[in-house]
Amino acid sequence: MFIKRILEDIGRYFILMKLVFRRPDNFRMYWDAFVRDLYMLGVKSLGLVAIISLFVGAVVTIQTALNLENPIIPKYYIAIATRESIILEFSPTMISLILAGKVGSNIASTLGTMRVSEQIEALEVMGVKSASFLILPKIAACVIFNPILIIISMFLGIVGGYIFGTSTGMISGTDFIKGLQIDYTPFYIAYALVKTVVFAFVITSISAYYGFFVKGGAVEVGENSTKAVVASSLVLILTNYLLTQLLLG
Amino acid sequence: MIRVTNIHKKFGDLHVLKGIDATFMKGKTNLIIGKSGSGKTVFLKCLLGIHDIDDGDVDFDGRLISEMSIEDRRKLRLELGMVFQGSALFDSLTVEENVSFPLRMFTKKSSKEIAERTNFCLNRVNIENANHLFPAEISGGMQKRVAIARAIVMNPRYLFCDEPNSGLDPKTAMVIDELIQEITQEFDITTVINTHDMNSVLQIGDHVNFLVGGKKIWEGSKEDVLHTDNQELADFVFSSELFKKVRRAARSE
C-alpha cells in the first residue's frame, strides 16, 4: 500500500512536470511572475542565508582549531578545513536543506491555498495553463538565484571563519589567508554549483507537486506543506549522495 | 444558447450525474437549483470543462464539445466567464490587476486600452476607489463584484456563477443577483447560475432547472415555481414559513 502510494506520487509528479514545461501563453506575464518569485523565494532568503553562513563559518573554524591544537600541525590547516567544509558540503547542501524548509513550505502552502480557494480552477476556466504559469517561474527563479545565494553563503562562511578565528586568537590572519590558497581545487566550486542547481529543482518541483494537488482545506494545506519539506529534504539528501559519487567518486 | 444532452459523470463507483438534458437560453438568467449533494456543482464544472463528461454532449451555439480539439476548447474558454462561490480572486494581485489579468494574458491590447476596459468593468459593478486594494482589504460583497467584473472583462458569451451570493447579507445578495441579471440582459450573455438561495430563484429565475440525485426532475420559470404541483420542488423551495405564505398568496391570486 505504501509502495503503491509512492509509485502513484512519482507518476503524478512526472505528469505534472510535463504540464509545467509547456510553451508559455504570454512571455511577459511569465516574466512578471518570474521576477516576483525571484524576489519572494530568492532575495527574501538572503538575510537568513547570510546570518547562518557567517556563524556556521565561525563555528567550523573554532571547532577545527580546537581539534588541531597540536604544535606539529600548521595553523593554516584550520583555514583549509574551513574552506573545504563550507564549499563542499555546508553551503550547497546544508543551506539547500534550510531553503527546502523556507522556500519549500512557502511554495507548497501558496499553491495549496490557491487550490482550496479555487484560484487554480479560476485560472483553468480562463484557459491559462495553470501548472506551467504557477510553477515554471518558481523553478526558474530558484534554479537561477540559488547558486547566487550559495556563492554568497560560501563567501560569508569563510569571512565568518576569518573574523571569529582571528579575533579569538585561534589563527592569525596571515595563516588563514595562506590556508585558503593552499591546495585550492576550482572544480569544487563547480561541483557545489551543480549540486545547488539540482537541489533547487528538487526543492521547487517537489514542493510545487505537494501544493498543487492539495485536496480539502486549511488542515490539508498544512499537512501537504510538511510533506513537501520532508519529501524534498529526503530526495535532496539522496541526490547529494548520487551527485557526490558521480562527480567526486 | 447552451444545450446539454444526456450527460453522465461518474467518480469511481459514484454516479453523480445521471443523464441530464437542459437548455440554457441567451440573454436569460438560467438557474440550477437543488439540495446539497444533488450534483449542481459537478454539473456546472462539466459545462465549464473542469470535469470531463463520461457520456452525453454539450452544445455551445452549434459547437459540440465532443467534436472540439484541445485548441478549440482552449478558444472556447476565452468565451466563458466564471464567478466562483468564494470569488477566487488572486490574493497576490490588486483589484485592478485581478480584473485586467485575462486581458494581459490573452490579448495584445495596449496598457491604456487595458486600463480603460478594466475601469469600465469595475464601474459597471459599482466598484470605485478600490483599484489598488488587495482582495483581503475589501468586503465579501465587493469581492463578489470584483469577481463579476473579472468574469465579464473579456466580453464573454457565457457567464457561469457558482452560488454567487453565498455568505452575503440579504441586501448585498439581492444587489449581486440584480447585477448579474442586468449584465446578462445588457450584454446578451447566456448566464447559468448555480444556487440554493430561494430569494434568487424568485427574483431572477428566468429559467429554473431543479436537480435531485443527479437528475433534472423539473424545469420552468420563477412564476411556474410559485404554482408548481411538483411536491419535491415545493418542499425544497417553500421550506420556510415565509416562503409558504408567499406561495399561498401567489396561488390565491
**Per-residue pLDDT tens for B47-83?**
988 888 999 999 999 999 888 888 888 889 889 999 9
What average pLDDT does range B138-150 have in this prediction?
92
Low-confidence ranges of chain A (pLDDT < 70): none
Task: Tell me the per-residue pLDDT of B150-168, one tens digit each, with 9 for 90 and over.
Answer: 999 999 999 999 988 887 8
| A23 in B contact zone (CB under 8 Å) | no
Q: What is the pLDDT of residue B198?
A: 83
Share of chain B above pLDDT 70, in %: 97
Q: Rounded to whole angstroms, how far apart are CA atoms A35 and B77? A: 28
Assess contact for A211 and A110: CB atoms under 8 A.
Answer: yes
ipTM score of the complex?
Answer: 0.86
Is A125 in Cβ contact with B48 (below 8 Å)?
A: yes
Among partner residues B80, B89, B101, which is closest to A125 by beta-carbon distance?
B80
| A28 in B contact zone (CB under 8 Å) | yes
How many secondary structure helices (H) and strands (E) does chain A include?
10, 0
Confidence of residue B173 (pLDDT cuts 50, 70, 90): confident
> Within chain B, what is the greatest distance between any pair of CA atoms?
59
Q: What is the pLDDT of residue A77?
A: 94
Q: What is the pLDDT of residue A82?
A: 95
Indicate whether B253 pLDDT > 70: no
Find, in chain A, the residue whose alpha carbon is nearest to that of B90. A119
Assess contact for B159 and B121: CB atoms under 8 A.
Answer: no
Q: Tell me how many residue pairs between chain A and chain B have CB atoms under 8 A apart.
A: 51
- Measured in angstroms, the CA of A152 and the nearest CA of chain B are apart by 29
A127: left (phi > 0), else alpha (psi -120 to 50), else beta? left
Task: Classify residue A12: in a domain, yes or no.
Answer: no
- Domain B2-79+156-252 homologous superfamily, CATH: P-loop containing nucleotide triphosphate hydrolases (3.40.50.300)
What are the backbone dihedrals phi and psi of residue B192, each rounded to the nearest 5 degrees, phi first? -120, 120
Confidence of residue B30 (pLDDT cuts 50, 70, 90): very high
Give the domain extent around A181: 25-247
On average, the pLDDT of chain B sits at: 89
Among partner residues A26, A36, A121, which is closest to B88 by beta-carbon distance?
A121
Indicate whether B19 pLDDT > 90: yes
Q: Rounded to whole angstroms, how far apart are CA atoms A232 and A139? A: 14
| A8 in B contact zone (CB under 8 Å) | no
Find, in chain B, the residue whose alpha carbon is nearest to that of A27. B105
Total domain count, chain A: 1
Is B92 in Cβ contact with A36 (below 8 Å)?
A: yes
Neighbour count for residue A35 (Cβ, 10 Å): 12
Confidence of residue B90 (pLDDT cuts 50, 70, 90): very high
Is B88 in Cβ contact with A122 (below 8 Å)?
A: yes
Is B74 in Cβ contact with A122 (below 8 Å)?
A: no
Task: Tell me the per-residue pLDDT of B186-203, one tens digit each, with 9 for 90 and over.
Answer: 889 999 999 888 888 888
Can you read off the three cell numbers belonging to residue A39?
524576489
Find, in chain B, the residue whose alpha carbon is nearest to that of A26. B105
Confidence of residue B236 (pLDDT cuts 50, 70, 90): confident
- Measured in angstroms, the CA of A197 and the nearest CA of chain B are apart by 27
Task: Classify residue A126: in a domain, yes or no.
Answer: yes
Which residues, at least 6 apart from A75, have a Cβ–Cβ distance to it below 8 Å? A68, A171, A172, A175, A179
| Domain range summary for chain B, segments of one domain joined by + | 2-79+156-252, 90-155
Task: Classify residue A9: in a domain, yes or no.
Answer: no
